[in-house]
Amino acid sequence: MENNIDFVEGTQAKKGHPKGLWVLFGTEMWERFNFYGMRAILTLFLVNSLMMKEEDASLLYGGFLGLCYLTPMLGGFIADRFLGNRNCIMIGGFMMAAGQALLFFSATVFPSNLGLANTLMWTALGVIVFGNGFFKPNISSMVGSLYPKQEKSKLDTAFTIFYMGINLGAFLGQTICPIVGDVKVGGVQNVFAFKWGFLAASIAMLIGTMVFYFLKNKYVVTPEGKPLGGLPSKNDDSDYEEGEAQKAVFSKMNLLLSVVVFVALFFTFRYLLDGDNFIKTLIYPIIYSAGITLALLIISDKSLTKVELQRILVIYIVAFFIIFFWAAFEQAGSSLTFIASNQTDRHIFGWEMPASMVQVFNGVFVFAFALPFSILWDKLRAKGREPISPAKQAIGLLLIAVSYFIIAYNVKDLGNSGLLAVKWLILLYLIQTFAELCLSPIGLSLVGKLSPKRFSSLLFGVFFLSNAAGYALSGSLGSILPPTGDKFQAAQSVNVDLGSILDKKKVANGEELFALAKLNIASVDAKKAKANHIDIAKKIKTAAEIKTERELAAKKKLPFVDKHQVSDTTFTAAEYNTIRDKQLITVSYPTFVGFTIHGLFEFFMVFVVLTGVASLILFLLIPTLKKMMHGVR
C-alpha cells in the first residue's frame, strides 16, 4: 500500500492518504488489541472464576459494552468544549491500561479473596468504561479532521483503512489473550490463567498510548502543518465551512427540558425492563434514555440550518437501524462464546482451539477483506455506481440475517448432546465480516461527512450511542440463550433430569432445584426468598465456593479443609417444601416477547427476524434519506 502513496513531510499528500492516518491506525490497533483481547475472555472469567451465571454474565457483558459506547458522549463533549482530541486520547489510553491492570489483580487474588476479586472487577470495568469514553470518539473524529473539505470523498477509503487497524488489533488481542488466558488442563478450565490475558491487554494499551504521544506532533497535522485536535480555544475560522456557526446554541430551557426528558425516559425503560438484575433495570435504561435525550438536545440547537438538521436526522435514522446490527453481531463475546465452549467441536487439524479464540476469525476476515472492499467502493464510485451509505448498511443488515439463518439450519437437529462443527461458526463470522464492512466503517464515514464541525465529536458520540444501545440489547438477547448440552450433562451428574423439568413432565423438588442452582442452571427469586426468610443466594454462593476450593486443593494436591457447617449449605425439609411450593428457585426455558426459546434453532431465528426486518425497512427508506443528505453520498 505504501508504494502507492506520495507523502510530503508536513503537508497533505497530493495522492493517497496523509501519514497521520497511519499514526492513528497504529494507536487504534493497540487499543483494539487491549479491548478485544479482554472481551474475548471476560465472560469466561466471570463464569468460571467469579462463579457468575451465564445469563447474568451476558447482561453484564452487554451493559459493560453499552457503557463503553455511552461515555463517548461525555468524552466528545469534553474534547469539543475543554480539552481537545489529543488530550482526551491520552487520558483515555492511560485509564484503559489501568483498568486492565485492575482486572489482572482481580484474577490474581481469586480464589483466596473472592469478595476483593469482585470489587476489583467492578472497579476495573468502571475505569475502562470512562477511559474508552475519552478515547473512542476523539480518535475517530481526528481521522475525519485529517482531510480538508475538498478531499472528503476519500473518507470512505480512509475509514476502511482505519478499520483495518481496528481489526488487526482485534486479531492480535483475540489470539494472544486466549492463548495465555483461556487455558484448559485435562479438559478443566485453569482459572488461574485469565490474569495473563488481562496483563497482555494492559501492556498493549500502554504501547498504543505511547505511539500516539511520540508521533502526534510530527504527523497528526493539517496540510499546513498545524497540529490537529488541540485545545478548542485555539481553533480558528479556517476550521469551519463558510457560513457555518462555530458554537452550539442551547438555551437554558432546552437544557432543563433535556433533564426532564431523560428522567421520564429512564423510568419508562425501567418499567418496561422489569426484573431483579440491576444492570438490566439501571444501566440499560440509562443507556437508552441518554441516547434519545442527547439526540433531541442536539437538534434543539437554534443555529442549525435546514440542511444541517436534515443531515443530522439521516445520522439518527441510520444509527437506529445500526442498533439491530450490533445486537446481533455482539453475540460473539457472550452467547456465541458460550456455544463455542459448551456445544461445539472446536478441533482443527487435531488441535482444539480455545472457545474464546473462535471469534478471532472476525478480525482475520476484516483484515483480509477490508482493502478489497475499499477498492470495490473506489471502482464503483469511479463508474458512478457506488451505493449511498444507507444502502450499504441495509446490505450489511441483510447479510447478518443470512449468517444466522445458515447456522440456525445447522443446529436444528443437534439436540442436547450433538456438537456443532466449528466450521459453521467460522462461516458465520465470514458472512458477518462482510456485513460489518458494509456497515460499520461506512457509518463512521457518514458521520464525518454529514456532521457540522461544531458537533463533530459530539455526533460521533451520538453515533456510538447507537452502538451502546445495540450492545445493551445484545446483552438482553444473549441472556435468552437456552440451556446448551453441557447444562443437561451437568444436571445428570447430580442425578437431575433437566429435560423432564424444562418440559414440565416432572415437578422438581427443593433439593433438585438447589442442586441446579449450585450449577448456575436454576434461578433464584431474591424477592420471594427474602419474603420467606430463606437466604438461598448466600447458601448457593457458599456451596459454590466450597466446590471451587475443593477442586483447587485437588489440583494443587493439598488437603481440603471444609471450615463451614452443614447448615451453611443445606435446608430443612420444611424449607425445601417452601422452595418448591412457592417457586423460590425455578428453572425454565427463556422467553422473548411471549415466545418460548426451546433450543438453539429458535434462539438464532430471533436474530434472523430482527435484522431481516430492519434491513427491509432501511431499503425502503433509501430514496428519502438520499434527498435529506443533500448531495453527500
Q: Looking at the structure, tell me whether residues 470 and 436 fall in a common domain.
A: yes
Provide the grid cell at 494: 447430580
- The β-bridge partners of 32 are none
Residue 235 counted as domain residue: no
Q: Looking at the structure, tell me whether residues 203 and 349 fall in a common domain.
A: yes
Give pLDDT, residue 209. 94
Residue 243 counted as domain residue: no
- C-beta contacts of 379-388 below 8 A and 24+ residues apart: 381/153, 386/633, 388/622, 388/625, 388/626, 388/629, 388/633
Report d(CA 494, CA 477) in Å as an integer: 29
Q: What is the C-alpha radius of gyration for the chain, rounded to an integer number of angstroms? A: 25
Report d(CA 159, CA 439) in Å as an integer: 11
Only one residue has cell 438490566, namely 280
Q: Looking at the structure, tell me whether residues 452 and 495 fall in a common domain.
A: no
Give pLDDT, residue 29. 92
Report d(CA 443, CA 441) in Å as an integer: 5
Give pLDDT, residue 273. 85
Give pLDDT, residue 409. 93
Provide the grid cell at 557: 494436591
> What's 71's DSSP letter?
T
Residue 294 counted as domain residue: no
Residue scoring higher pLDDT (294 or 4): 294
Provide the grid cell at 166: 481496528
* pLDDT band at residue 445 using 50, 70 and 90 as cut-offs: confident
Residue 264 counted as domain residue: no
Q: Looking at the structure, tell me whether residues 353 and 493 fall in a common domain.
A: no
Residue scoring higher pLDDT (45 or 524): 45
* Cis bond upstream, residue 111 (ω within 30): yes
- The CA-atom distances, in angstroms, between 183 and each of 10, 49, 105, 174, 353 are 48, 13, 18, 14, 10
Q: Looking at the structure, tell me whether residues 476 and 604 fall in a common domain.
A: yes
| Among the ranges given (330-339, 369-378, 457-466), the one the predictor scored with the smallest mean pLDDT | 457-466
Is 510 a residue whose pLDDT tops 60? yes
Kindly state the average pLDDT of the residues 14-24: 77
Q: Looking at the structure, tell me whether residues 77 and 209 fall in a common domain.
A: yes
| Among the ranges given (144-153, 252-261, 397-406, 616-625), the one the predictor scored with the smallest mean pLDDT | 144-153
* pLDDT band at residue 336 using 50, 70 and 90 as cut-offs: very high
Residue 197 counted as domain residue: yes
Provide the grid cell at 589: 426455558
CA 117 from centroid of its chain's CA atoms:
23
H or E segment to which residue 185 belongs: strand 184-185
385 three-class SS: coil
Q: Looking at the structure, tell me whether residues 450 and 510 fall in a common domain.
A: no
Q: Which of 414, 403, 471 is nearest to 598 (CA)?
A: 414
Q: Looking at the structure, tell me whether residues 386 and 426 fall in a common domain.
A: yes
Q: Which domain holds residue 417?
A: 18-228+301-482+600-628
Provide the grid cell at 474: 445484545
Give pLDDT, residue 13. 42
Residue 234 counted as domain residue: no
Report d(CA 132, CA 89) in Å as an integer: 9
Q: Looking at the structure, tell me whether residues 425 and 512 fall in a common domain.
A: no
- C-beta contacts of 149-155 below 8 A and 24+ residues apart: 149/241, 151/12, 152/448, 152/449, 153/381, 154/17, 155/445, 155/448, 155/449
Give pLDDT, residue 9. 38
- The β-bridge partners of 585 are 524
Kindly state the average pLDDT of the residues 509-524: 82
Q: Which of 99, 94, 110 is nearest to 194 (CA)?
A: 110
End-to-end CA distance of the chain: 25
Identify the CATH number of the domain in which residue 141 sits: 1.20.1250.20
- The β-bridge partners of 227 are 221
Would the pTM of this model clear 0.75, i.e. be above it?
yes
**Per-residue pLDDT reduced to its tens digit, 345-384:** 999 988 899 999 998 998 888 778 878 888 888 888 888 8
Q: Looking at the structure, tell me whether residues 35 and 180 fall in a common domain.
A: yes
The overall average pLDDT reported for the chain is 85
**Per-residue pLDDT reduced to its tens digit, 526-580:** 788 888 888 887 887 787 777 777 777 776 677 777 777 777 888 888 888 888 7
Give pLDDT, residue 432. 95
Kindly state the average pLDDT of the residues 17-32: 88
Highest averaged pLDDT of the listed ranges 252-256, 497-501, 579-583: 497-501
Q: Looking at the structure, tell me whether residues 468 and 513 fall in a common domain.
A: no
Residue 624 counted as domain residue: yes
**Per-residue pLDDT reduced to its tens digit, 101-137:** 999 999 998 777 888 999 999 999 999 999 998 998 7
Q: Looking at the structure, tell me whether residues 457 and 508 fall in a common domain.
A: no
Is 581 a residue whose pLDDT tops 60? yes
Residue 443 counted as domain residue: yes
Tally of domains in the chain: 2
Q: How many helices (H) and strands (E) does the chain have?
A: 23, 10
User: Percentage of the chain with pLDDT > 90?
Assistant: 39
